A = this chain, B = another copy of it.
Amino acid sequence: MDPTERHQTLALAREQGRLQETQLGPWQYLRLNQDCHELPEGTVVFGDTVIFGYPHIGRIFWLTTGLREQLSGPCWVEEKVDGYNVRLFRHGDSVLALTRRGYLCPFTSDRLADLLDLRVFAEQPDLVLCAEVAGPENPYNEAAPAAITEDVRLFVFDAMRHNRLGLLPPREKLALVERYGLPAVPQFGLHRLDDLEPLRALLLELDRTGREGVVFKEDTPPHHRIKYVTGNSALSDLRATSLAIRQLPAEYFMQRVLRLALFRCEHGLPVTGDLAQALGESLLDGMVAAIDQQQRQHKVCHTFRCRFRQRANAELLMAALGQRLGEGQVRLLRLAPEGAYWRLEFTKGLPRTTGLLGHLLSGGLVFD
């Protein structure tokens, strides 16, 4: 896509109301609120600068055939970390973080100086780093990698440039990571696809240690990428989200049960009693907790906690979430100094879960 086409597509998106004026604190920008031709949702325009959205990466459910069908030539294999996707970029004197959907994130932006050495943006002012932020103290995700026991960490996995659609080739990203000592996702090296045994062993090891999975990236153009996750990641997704029944589509849950079954079958792992019990608990424990919340509080919500360097950014996050989710859905529990930080605790309501359970617990009828 050349710059002229890109501008035409952006103009078209604006006409169709898909490019929304978005404001957060002092920042005003345009945000693409759904895919538009080649431009992914989350593409943003800051004055003359376009930061393109992170592209959709397809997923395979069966490793043996999937690699053969979807990729060719040797691939870089990198860990897929279970967090939320951000793009970091320099804007004037600041470095800012955008969420996948293109919202400026006051939490991530506030904490960047703790998470990586920002001098890279001084030398490379048009760099966009794509990273996963993961850990138990974050404002978006209920789950976190088991190995991160407090706060959050940041893992760079891709890079882009201002005004340029698409990701840099894996080797260019690796060179940037090395040159600037960037924190990055664990790198498992370049793998041939005609010998699956080392990959299978790697995936089994990731499954055993409770990690999410991997992303494959072709070494040569067109640098296709695909993801593949472990059976265990399906279980931890279910454990983290079964409180949110009806909030997430039923397909979300059933696809994960199927992922677990496919992973066990492909890798010759039996469905043991312990595994079945873990699956049953991952579904029931959250639902029972939701029913319990609904009975006690007449609503169901998730509690989040995270820490900020600046109090103003915590307030900005609360305002932004309130605007996006509806004022009534976001409730401040605590904002107070704690060591060098401001500790924020808040809840996000699950209105569809609350609506369903409210209807059922008050004796409502369902026709099916």
Interface on A for B, CB 8 Å cutoff? 56, 58-62, 64-70, 226, 245, 249-251, 253-255, 257-258, 260-262, 264-265, 271, 273, 275-281, 283-285, 287-288, 291-292, 295, 360-368
Contact = CB atoms under 8 A, between A and B. Distances in A.
A207 B56 CA distance: 46
Contacts of A273: 277, 281
A63 to B, nearest CB: 9
Contacts of A275: 280, 284
A275 B262 CA distance: 23
Interface of A (DSSP majority class)? helix
Contact of A292 (B60, B265, B283): B265
A226 B64 CA distance: 50
A262 B257 CA distance: 21
A250 B257 CA distance: 11
A39 to B, nearest CB: 16
Contacts of A62: 360-363
A363 B67 contact: yes
Given A59-B368, A70-B363, A364-B69, A281 B271 contact: yes
B281 A276 contact: yes
Contacts of A250: 249-251, 253-255
B279 A61 contact: no
A285 B271 contact: yes
A366 B258 contact: no
23 contacts: A56-B367, A59-B365, A59-B367, A60-B360, A60-B363, A60-B364, A60-B366, A62-B360, A62-B361, A64-B363, A65-B363, A68-B363, A69-B362, A245-B254, A250-B251, A253-B253, A253-B254, A261-B287, A261-B288, A262-B360, A264-B284, A276-B284, A278-B280
